[in-house]
Amino acid sequence: MDGFKKFLFQGNLVQLAVAVVIGAVFSELIAAFTAALITPLLGVFGGVPQFAELSFTINGSEFLYGAFIDALISFLLTAAILYFFVVLPVSKVMERFSRAEEATHRECPACFSEISKKATRCAHCTSEVAPEAV
C-alpha cells in the first residue's frame, strides 16, 4: 500500500492531473469564446443570426455543420494559443540552454567523448588536446 500511496503523491502524477483539469477548463473557455464572439461575428457577415444552428436535412437526418464549424474554430484557436504561448516560448528557452551548454563543451578528436573546451587533456582517453577559446 505504501508504494501505491507514493505513486499517487509523486510530483509527475499530480502535475499531470492539474494539467488535464486546466486543459479541460481551457478548452471550455475557448469553446465559449468561439460560440459567444467568433461565430456571431461570422454570422453578421453571412447574414445568419445563429451560426452554430446551421444545418441541412437529407432523408430526415439533420446534419449540423454549423456546430462542426464552431468546433473547428475552437480547435484552431486552441492550437494557435498553445503554439504561440507555450510551444514557441519553451522551444526558445530550450534552444538558449542548449546553445549555452554547447558553447562550453566539445568532442575529443581521439575518442569522441565530450570534454570541456578549456581542457588540455581528455579525461576519458588521456590524449592531449589543444584548448579552445570559450
Distances (CA, A) of 126 to 80, 108, 121: 51, 10, 6
Give 125's pLDDT tier (boundaries 50, 70, 90): very high
| Long-range CB contacts (within 8 A, 24+) of 98-105 | 103/134, 104/134
> What does residue 43 show for φ and ψ, rounded to 5 degrees?
-65, -35
What whole-number distance in Å separates Cα of residue 115 and Cα of residue 124? 9
Average pLDDT, the chain: 84
Give residue 134's pLDDT. Answer: 57
Answer whether residue 6 shows pLDDT above 80.
Answer: no
Give 25's pLDDT tier (boundaries 50, 70, 90): very high
pLDDT tens, residue by residue, 65-99: 888 888 888 889 888 988 998 889 988 988 887 77
Give residue 132's pLDDT. Answer: 79
Distances (CA, A) of 5 to 10, 17, 21, 80, 100: 9, 16, 21, 38, 39
Beta-carbon contacts of residue 134 (< 8 Å; ≥ 6 apart): 103, 104, 117, 118
